[in-house]
Chain A
Amino acid sequence: MNAHASLLPKLIAVAIIACVPLSGESFYIEIVGKVLVMAIFAMSLDLLVGFTGLVSFGHAAYFGIAAYAVALLSPQYDAASLWVVLPASIALSALAAFVVGLFVLRTKGIYFIMVTLAFAQMAYFIFHDTPLGGGSDGMYLDNKPSAAIFGWEPFELTNEVHLFYFILAMMVLVYLFLARLLQSPFGRVLVGIKSNEHRMQSLGYFTFRYKLGAFTLAGALGGLAGFLYAVLFGFVTPELLSWHESGNVLLMVILGGMGNLAGAVAGAFAFEAMREIFADITKYWQLLMGGVIVAVVLFLPGGLAGVPGRIKRALQGGEAK
């Protein structure tokens, strides 16, 4: 991977995003903040789908579990400490992913897709049908966590600009962490599992452990995204865990081209931008969205990330396939 060659465009992109709060418009700050949260979510799923070859169709569960965890762990009239609820929420999502992973990783292919979906539905119904998290109405996060350490508060999550930069920093950290991880022996094994699991097994790797590790880590990072989402919007509903969300995030990963971290971020941006633009044009935006999805699958295998390569090949006069 020529990580250094493509470093500059990424830095420029981050710098542009970092300028958003200068607009002073709450609307843009919140929307771009949401996109950044979704970008973290998409990268966490890409670790499974794009790098390990595990197509999880229930990733929203881990997003939602952490989101509910913040809301449930925060006292009603007081702010919880960020340094407690953040790790606790992530740990809960990671734990859920670990337990589910023990089951679902026994299956493969279509079964894996459907079993991950079924476990996510289980989580959905736990929040939807029981009074634990306010049932189908969901619940409010009345007080955003406080970042105070022994009375010193480096930043305030109640301040929308501070929160925006906190989310942006998290996204960059997750990107760097995953990029580094994929260069490590652990990441190499994951990529090896994707291309040929039997080969990795015959090389002596216990692939199940690696897959479980990846599944748990993806759950934890999905949890981080869910945590940030709950803090950003201040309320959680069971719909965060619904299979539509799992579908949307899969779509972001595909749009960006699987197995490409920057692509996952771009996919999240493209997806949310499409949603906003279509919703602006017509209230029947789902029709356009559905049409775009169908068209991307039929005509653009490889997602948006494959587009530059296609253009290049087309210009060189070769077959654009």
Chain B
Amino acid sequence: MDFASFLIQTLNSLQYGLLLFLVASGLTLVFGIMGIINLAHGSFYMVGAYLAFVLSSATGSLVMAIVLGIPLALVFGAILEWALFSHLYKRDHLEQVLLTYGLILIFEQLRSLLVGDDVHGVAIPAFLDASIQLTEVMSYPVYRLAISAVCVALAVALYYVIQRTRLGMMIRAGNDDRSMVESLGINIDMIYRVVFALGVALAALAGMLAAPISSVFPNMGSHVLIISFVIVVIGGIGSVWGALVAALIVGFADTFGKVLIPELSGIVVYVVMAVVLLWRPEGILKKG
């Protein structure tokens, strides 16, 4: 592997890992704070991608689609939390698995009813539709760099919100001890709703950003869901920073796995997970 292709794969790994971080961060927060296994989290990614397709077809611009799509995703998340997930907090994991599994079926079928089962492409915004020439034959698309930049900006913003704001303080406290937070007079139900809606919006945004690269297609959420689970487990449930580290590990393992051992690329990520769990059964970073 020469330097230029190494560079390209490294950039791809970063971009993929950072995108997965957007999905996994919401998943790990919902796990850590509310103790909920949400199998439908991958569907939010799918919903985001289809929103990008539908809205960008309607408005003619992916940027407009994202601007309109994020508030929609937030509202969608808040409604779901209110209608369904708020009933699950005290149930056991098995029932959470089931209910959210049922939701996947519903979301996929609704998607099929509303948009159909065809694969659709989404156009890259014109101002990002360019490539940087690396060598005579190899170039790197600007759009992928833009995705990485957006993800880094969001990770920084998330760090700021969680570590430096009052809301973040309440989220962290809720992560540690729900009843203590409640007894201090903080409306934990509202915190839950905000965190859940935020997680939905992050996953949907990941789907919107990925839409031009991967196209939109049926069941696109399910692969992302499973990979995000792996990331959450590797990173340690409830740990946003663990999820970031784990997402990057997974991004690199998957991308380089595809290049170096294409036949076994599917299992590389799971082998990494097994090794990490043998080393640290509770993930790289513990909840906190």
Contact = CB atoms under 8 A, between A and B. Distances in A.
B278 interface: yes
Contact of A290 (B104, B113, B237, B277): B104
B266 interface: yes
B105 A110 contact: no
B97 A57 contact: yes
Interface string B246-288: 0000000000000000011111001101100110011000000
Contacts of A306: none
A109 B266 CA distance: 26
A117 to B, nearest CB: 6
B188 interface: no
Nearest to A254: B98
A290 B274 contact: no
Interface in B68-111: 84, 87, 91, 93-95, 97-99, 101-106, 108-110
A65 interface: no
Interface stretch (B16-24, B53-61, B144-152, B228-236): B228-236
Given A107-B281, A129-B264, A284-B113, A118 B229 contact: yes
Nearest to B262: A129
Q: DSSP class of A's interface residues: helix, strand, loop or mixed?
A: helix
B31 interface: yes
Given A119-B270, A129-B266, A284-B112, A55 B102 contact: no
B226 A292 contact: no
A289 interface: yes
B270 A125 contact: yes
A250 interface: yes
A176 interface: no
B277 A106 contact: yes
A115 interface: yes
A103 B274 CA distance: 8
A202 interface: no
Q: How large is the interface on A (under 10, 10 to 19, 20 to 34, 35 or more residues)?
A: 35 or more
A113 B101 CA distance: 14
B271 A122 contact: yes
A124 B223 CA distance: 12
B98 A293 contact: yes
Given A111-B237, A129-B263, A286-B106, A301 B95 contact: yes
A130 B102 contact: no
A251 B98 contact: yes
B110 A291 contact: no
B98 A287 contact: no
A286 B101 CA distance: 11
Interface of B: 31, 35, 37, 39, 84, 87, 91, 93-95, 97-99, 101-106, 108-110, 112-113, 222, 226, 229-230, 232-233, 237, 263-267, 270-271, 273-274, 277-278, 281-282
Q: Can you list the 8 inter-chain pairs with the closest CB atoms, starting with the nearest?
A: A125-B266, A293-B102, A290-B105, A290-B106, A122-B270, A297-B99, A287-B109, A286-B109
Given A118-B273, A293-B99, 18 more contacts: A49-B94, A57-B97, A109-B93, A113-B93, A115-B233, A122-B271, A129-B266, A243-B222, A247-B101, A284-B112, A287-B106, A287-B109, A290-B109, A294-B84, A296-B98, A297-B95, A297-B98, A298-B84
